Structure 1
């Protein structure tokens, strides 16, 4: 698979098959992704990988916390900007509308939206659930490094015929994730990552989000 094919075929999948992912493939993806560019070669990423009963326990613990109203302190960083300018607000609302239209959840159906949101914490039934963290002492540059590492995990998954879904939703319940996976207090829970074989026949997996044209974000200087 060419790199461009991996990039163009990568998208966030929200329905996975139960088929297990070979341990050797998981290890290959992670070890190869560790070649990600890293400022000063710090390699700041910390990765927690759950499968089988361990993944199920993590999911069950978060869903129980939701049901019990145990919201904890919430995310430890701003997943989104405090205020959206029109262009970003439009993009965010469009993808939400597209997804929930595919799911048959009408606008204003809070129960339907919550039901779908809860699936995040089951890693959308993917057999592998990863949690990406970074040490608090690290600077903004190391968060960039973690983003590059995360991207390479997703692209390398495509080479193995697998799909992924990056999930910032796990940062909301970082107190539960931290407890269940024994993550030390000096690490920040950045996000989760579902990994597995996507079900191509499921409607949510047909969503392909739009991308802005080159001229919207690129400035050229030739002389």
Structure 2
């Protein structure tokens, strides 16, 4: 845990050397994703210190998804067009639901005088991006592009199970089966065994270091050597 903490501090210290073009969407999204890696890392540290075992896999899933997007974008700036397609697709889902004026959680959006203009804007943008060959990508395709299919089919599966409260995860979180395996206890705030979080923290440390190396290499700060990979 201390090594991971030092890695976060080092990332923040070296971040002052990251110079980027705010008007360039590639730079903007790349920096924002790197910021997500740093902040998710910090959250993982705090959750592990507080032994909040239920939340750690959920946060780690978001961390891993951010890393996959970051890696893809760092290696190919055109990947940003897929991100833009997803952006418009998700906004359309919300805006078209708001247009129906039936969802009480979307009353404010539904009453916006420019709602129809926003809907048309995202429709046009999504149509153009698809015509240019940039579809919203599934999680599998994102991992595949990043060369991380094995991670998708293993650790990511477990993280999604935790996020979606799959029975497999519910058993692991709350059930203690007796030695004879003929009875069980259901326990809230189950004690975490020593070292339970180590594999999360060591994996996140490795990925954060890779991310730090890549961002400094891409933006040519000369500090990528501070993060050996």
Query: Normalising by structure 2, what TM-score?
Result: 0.27
- Per chain length, whose mean CA-contact separation is higher, i.e. which structure has more relative contact order (CA < 8 Å, sep 6+)? 1
Higher helix fraction (1 or 2): 2
Higher strand fraction (1 or 2): 1
- Structure with larger Rg: 2
Query: Normalising by structure 1, what TM-score?
Result: 0.28
